[in-house]
Amino acid sequence: MLSVVSVILVCAIIIVIAWLFSRLLGKTWSRAQKGRYLDIIDQAPLGQDRALLIVRIQDKYYLVGSTPQNIQLIAELGDDFDPAAVREDYGSWNGTGGQKGSGTMNFSDALKINLKKLSDNMSHRKDSGKNG
């Protein structure tokens, strides 16, 4: 009987210690994401060790792909990209990630919307270059 109680007590202590370490490491890693000139605004995992990131460097936003072998700039999101404005503009949008009127949207839906804006801007620039 005593050995069963001691095993349960040891397991409980291990769980508490693991929980405390995860809390400590979570705070440390979140601090590591913020820099003086660079912030990781959002990230979406695409698989094991692969992710899309929205990165702010000073006042500019970039879409970056990250793999174990490479970090690749995918697009500059432009001067008009504003994460807060995306939440305001599409807060009532009813997609897979946000509830109508909730003011939230999942990363992939926000990314699709902003990539469409980016491609529209690029095609507009190409069209204006042909006319000029």
**Three state DSSP letters for 69-93:** CCEEEEEECCCCCCHHHHHHHCCCC
Which residue in this structure is represented by tokens 């000139």? Answer: 37
- Write the secondary structure of 110-123 as one string of H (helix), E (strand) and C (coil): HHHHHHHHHHHHHH
CA distance 86 to 110: 7
Give pLDDT, residue 127: 67
Round to whole Å and give the CA distance between 16 and 22.
Answer: 10
Residue 126 to residue 117: CA distance in whole angstroms: 14
DSSP one-letter code for 126: H
The model's confidence at residue 41, banded by pLDDT at 50, 70 and 90, is confident
71-106 pLDDT per residue, tens: 999 988 877 777 776 555 444 444 444 444 444 567
Lowest mean pLDDT among 1-15, 27-41, 55-69, 97-111: 97-111
